[in-house]
Amino acid sequence: MTAIETPGWIQETLPRSVGGPIESTKTAIVESLRQAFAGTRLEQNVANSTVKIDMEYPMKAEQYPGIWVQFSFRKFVRSGISQQEMTYSVENKDTENERINWEPVVSFIFEATVTLSIVALTSLQRDRIADTIVVGLMAARPPVTWFTDPQRDTQQHRQLLEELSTNPYVSLGINLDQFNPGGQAVTTGVPWDPEILGYEDTYSFDILGETNVVYRNDGTYTLRRIDPVPQNWGEEPEGQGWT
The residue ranges of the chain whose pLDDT is under 50 are: 1-18, 229-243
H or E stretch including 215? strand 193-215
CB atoms near residue 52 (< 10 Å): 19
Q: What is the pLDDT of residues 5-29, one digit of tens each?
A: 433 333 333 343 446 788 888 888 8
pLDDT of residue 34: 84
Residue 187's pLDDT is 93
Closest among 71, 149, 136 to 110, alpha carbons compared: 71
Residues 3, 40 contacting (CB under 8 angstroms): yes
pLDDT score recorded for residue 126? 92
Residue 193 has what pLDDT?
93
Instruction: Look up the CATH number of domain 21-79+108-143+150-210.
Output: 3.30.2000
Contacts of residue 154, Cβ cutoff 8 Å, sequence gap at least 6 = none
pLDDT at 51: 81
What was the pLDDT predicted at 185? 95
Strands (E), 92-192: 99-120, 171-181, 185-190
- The answer to whether residues 143 and 230 touch, using CB atoms and an 8 Å cutoff, is yes
Q: How far apart are CA 39 and CA 1, in angstroms?
A: 10
Contact status, residue 150 vs residue 158, Cβ threshold 8 Å: no
Residues 6+ apart with CB under 8 A from 25: 71, 112, 170, 172, 207, 209, 211
Which of these, 94, 112, 84, 113, lies nearest to 224 by C-alpha position? 84
Distance in angstroms (rounded) separating the CA atoms of residues 226 and 40: 30
- State the pLDDT at residue 230: 46
